[in-house]
Structure 1
Amino acid sequence: MNSASNMFKVAVVGGEGIGPEVTAQSHRILNWFIAERGVPLVVREAQYGLIPYLSKGKVLPEDTVEAMDEADAILWGASGGPETREVSAEARKAGSLLSLRSKYDLYANLRPIVANPALAEAAPLKAEVLDGVDFIIIRELTSGIYFGEPRGIETLPDGQRRGFNTEQYTTNQVRRVARAAFELARTRKSRVCSVDKANVLETSVVWREEVTALHREEFSDIELTHLYVDNAAMQIVRQPRQFDVMVTGNIFGDILSDCAAMASGSLGMLPSASLGPVDRFGRRKALYEPVHGSAPDIAGKGIANPLGSILSVAMMLRLTLNRPDDADLLERSVAAALAGGARTADIAEASAKRLSTVEMGDAVLSALNEAVAEQREQA
C-alpha cells in the first residue's frame, strides 16, 4: 500500500495489439470493485508502445514511467507486433518488458493453470485429462538466458554469423524463487516439482542442487520432486493434475506455461503475476498481465478474450490488495459467466454464440452483480 495514504495505486498500461482492448475490460472490473466493494484504489492509465513513440520518441514515456514507479501494482496489456518495425531497436530495447522486470526486480512469475469444466468441449485436451487440473507454475523471471551476458551476434573470420547467449544462475537467484515455490506450496497441497535439464546443463545442475539443499534445510515438510524439462512438457499434456506447484527457470517457464495453456482451454484464459522482493514496509512491487501476447492478427477486431486480463485482476486482489474474498468473488463470477455459456471465439464450441471482447466483460460484470445481489438476499 502507498505509504502516504491508505489508498493503493494501480497503473493500467494497455500497450499494443489486443492489450488495450483486454485491459479496458479488466479496468471496468477494477472500477466495479472500487464502486461496489469499497476497494481503496486509485487507477491511473498510461500509454506504451508505438503511439507514444510517434509523438514523444519513446515507447515508455516519462509520464508512464512515473505512473508505474508510483504504483503498488501495474496492470499490463501486451507488447510487440508488426508495429515494432516502426520503432527503432534502441528505443524498443530501452522500454522493453524485460527491462521493466529487471528494473523492478520482478523475479517470481506466477501462472495458475486451472481447467474450467465449462470449457471441456472446446479444450484441445480430453475432458478426462483436464478433470481436477489446478496447479501453478512459478517461473524465475529476471535471470537465466534472457538476461545473461555476454550475448550478441558476430561475424566469424570465415564469414559465418554466430549468435550467442549466456545461461547462468547463482545460488541466491535459484533459492529465492524456490523459496517462493515452497512457501506457496504450504498454502496448497504441499507438493513442489522443480524442472531443469541437469543431465545436460551445468546451470541446471546448480539449480537442482540448490533447490534440493533449500528443501532439506527449510522445507522438509514439502514433497519435492524433479523433472527434466522435456519430460515435464510431456507430463503437462499427459497428466496435468499430478502437479501442485511447479518451479523452473526463465526460458523453461516461458515455454512450459504456454504449453500448460492447453490444460486451461486457451492461452487467452491465463492470468499471471510477476512479484518483486518484499521491502522493509512489507510491500512488494507487482505486475499483472494475461499470458497471451499482442495477437496482431485479431487486434482492433473486438474479439479478443479478456478473461486472462480479468483473472489477473483477481490475482491482484489477492496478492497486492489483500482482498482474498473479493478475489474469490471475481473468480467465481468468471466461472459463472462461462457456465452460463459466455464464449469468445478462442473458447467457443462449434455451435456456441461468440461474444465480443466487450460482451465478455459485460457477462462477468453481470455475474458479479448477481453474486452480490444473492449475498445481500442471504444476509
Structure 2
Amino acid sequence: MNKRKKFSLLVLPGDGIGPEVMREALRVVEWVGQYAGVEFAINLGTVGGAAIDAYGTPIQDETIEEAKQVDAVLFGAVGGPRWEKLDFSLRPEIAILRLRRDLSLFANLRPVTVFDPLIETSTIKPEVIRNLDLVIVRECMGGLYFGEPRGIETMPDGQTRGFNTETYSTNEIERVARVAFDLARRRRRIVCSVEKANVTESGLVWRQVISKLHEREFEDIELRHMYADNCAMQLVRNPKQFDVIVTGNIFGDILSDLASMLTGSLGMLPSATIGSSTGDSFRPALYEPIHGSAPDIAGKGIANPMAQILSVAMMLRLSLDLEKEAELVEQACIQSLARGARTADLALAGEPALTTTEMGDAVLRELESLIT
C-alpha cells in the first residue's frame, strides 16, 4: 500500500449532469479513504458555465493555480445551450482547454473496455466486441484545437470565414508517442498510429516522426500506421485488432467517442489526461468521463455515474499509486453490472432503470462485498 496517508484533490463538477455523477464518485473516494486508511483533502471548485455565471470566466486563474498544487484533479463536464451564444473565448469548454495547456497535460488516455454484462447493450454484434480491450492515446495540447493562426474574420465581399490551423512539431509528437509505446509494453505490444498523411502535411510529419522514434527506441513494439477514416471503419468492423491507438487532438476526440459506443454507452468510459511522470506517478493529472454535460437529462437523477467512478479508479492507479484500491473499484463496477444494475442508458427494453444515486449505491455494496 502507498506509504502516503494524505492526498489533495481538486474537484470540479462543472455543469449539467457533472455535479450529479461527481457526487457518486466522491462517495467512492470516501469509501477508499476509509478502506485504505488515507485522508483525501478535497477542495471544490467552479468551472465552465457555472464559473461564467459566478465570475464571468470559464475558469479563474486561482483555480488553475490550485490545480497545479494538488495530487490530482477530478473533472465533471461543462457546457450547455444557455452559454452557446457567448464569444468563443468565453465558452465553458475553455476551462478544460486551459487546464490542459497550463498544467502541460499533453496525453489523454481513453480505455475502451467491453464488460461482459453489457455486451447486449451495444449495437455491435457480440462476437465483434466480446473481450474488447484497447486504449486510445490522444494528443491534447496541439493540433487543430490549439494551432495558430485561428479566428473568425469578415472577408472583403462581406462573407464570414472561420479558420483554424493544424500544426504538430517533433517534440509534441514524440512525447505523446512515448506514452503510447510505454503503455503498449505493458499490454500486447502493438501501437497503431493514426493520421491523414495522404492529404495533410501535419499528418505526414506525424507519421515520419513516430516511425523514426520507433526505430530508435521501441523496436520491440509492433508499429502500424492507419489513416483516420480507415481507423473509424476498422473500429466498427474489427476493433479487436487494436491494442494502443495514438493520434492527434481532433482525430482522438472523434475516434474515442465512436469507440465508446462499442461498449454500449458513452456513460461507461473514463479518461485520464497526463503530462510527464513524477517517478512512477503522474502529478498533476486530470481525470474525467468522456461524456458531456447532457443538459437534456440534467437534474433528473438518471445519469450514469459509472464513467466518473471509473475515472476515480484511473486516478487511484496513475496518480496516487493505490493499485489495489483501483482494482477494487473497477471490479465493483463490473459486479454491479453483472447483478443487473442499469441506469436508463444501459437498460434494455423492459428492464428497470436505476437512478444515479441507486447506481452509486450498487457500486458501494459491491465494494463492501469484495472485502468481506
Q: What is the Cα deviation at residue 54 of structure 1?
A: 3.2
Question: For residue 331 of structure 1, what is the aligned residue in structure 2?
Answer: 330
Q: What is the Cα deviation at residue 6 of structure 1?
A: 5.4
Q: Answer yes or no: is the 8 Å Cα contact 2:134–2:244 preserved in 1.
A: yes
Distance across 2 between alignment mates of 1:349 and 1:281: 41
Provide Cα deviations, 1:181-231, integer angstroms capped at 9, x if missing partner: 000000111111110110101101100011110111000000110110001
Provide Cα deviations, 1:328-355, integer angstroms capped at 9, x if missing partner: 1111110000000000011111121100
Question: Residue 272 of structure 1 aligns to a residue in which SS?
Answer: strand
Q: Which amino acid aligns with 1:168?
A: T
Distance across 2 between alignment mates of 1:94 and 1:224: 34
Number of aligned residue pairs: 369
Distance across 2 between alignment mates of 1:89 and 1:140: 22
Question: Residue 320 of structure 2 aligns to a residue in which SS?
Answer: coil
Question: For residue 118 of structure 1, what is the aligned residue in structure 2?
Answer: 117
Question: For residue 234 of structure 1, what is the aligned residue in structure 2?
Answer: 233
Normalising by structure 2, we get a TM-score of: 0.95
Point out the more displaced range, 155-164 or 26-35: 155-164
Confirm whether residue 78 of structure 1 aligns to residue 84 of structure 2: no
Q: Answer yes or no: is the 8 Å Cα contact 1:12–1:27 preserved in 2.
A: no
Question: For residue 186 of structure 1, what is the aligned residue in structure 2?
Answer: 185
Question: For residue 56 of structure 1, what is the aligned residue in structure 2?
Answer: 55
Q: Which runs of 5+ in 1 are unaligned?
A: 374-379
Question: For residue 156 of structure 1, what is the aligned residue in structure 2?
Answer: 155
Question: For residue 313 of structure 2, what is the aligned residue in structure 1?
Answer: 314
Distance across 2 between alignment mates of 1:203 and 1:190: 26
Q: Answer yes or no: is the 8 Å Cα contact 2:64–2:99 preserved in 1.
A: no
Question: For residue 258 of structure 1, what is the aligned residue in structure 2?
Answer: 257
5 Å-filtered alignment, 1:176-215, equals 176-215=175-214
Q: What is the Cα deviation at residue 283 of structure 1?
A: 4.9
Question: For residue 345 of structure 2, what is the aligned residue in structure 1?
Answer: 346
Q: What is the Cα deviation at residue 121 of structure 1?
A: 1.6
Q: Answer yes or no: is the 8 Å Cα contact 2:79–2:93 preserved in 1.
A: no
The 3 A distance-change label for structure 1 pair 84 and 209 is same
Q: Answer yes or no: is the 8 Å Cα contact 2:49–2:78 preserved in 1.
A: no
Normalising by structure 1, we get a TM-score of: 0.93
Question: Residue 17 of structure 1 aligns to a residue in which SS?
Answer: coil
Distance across 1 between alignment mates of 2:203 and 2:45: 39
Q: What is the Cα deviation at residue 19 of structure 1?
A: 0.5
Aligned-residue Cα RMSD (Å) equals 1.9
Distance across 2 between alignment mates of 1:201 and 1:73: 36
Question: Residue 347 of structure 1 aligns to a residue in which SS?
Answer: coil
The 3 A distance-change label for structure 1 pair 234 and 225 is same
The 3 A distance-change label for structure 1 pair 85 and 283 is closer
Distance across 2 between alignment mates of 1:335 and 1:280: 30
Q: Which amino acid aligns with 2:98?
A: S
Runs of 4+ in 1 over 6 A off after TM superposition: none
Q: What is the Cα deviation at residue 323 of structure 1?
A: 1.2
Percent identity (aligned) = 52
Question: Residue 331 of structure 1 aligns to a residue in which SS?
Answer: helix
Distance across 2 between alignment mates of 1:16 and 1:128: 37
Q: Which amino acid aligns with 1:297?
A: D
Question: For residue 136 of structure 2, what is the aligned residue in structure 1?
Answer: 137
Provide Cα deviations, 1:54-106, integer angstroms capped at 9, x if missing partner: 34333324653454232111000001102314866544479521111111111
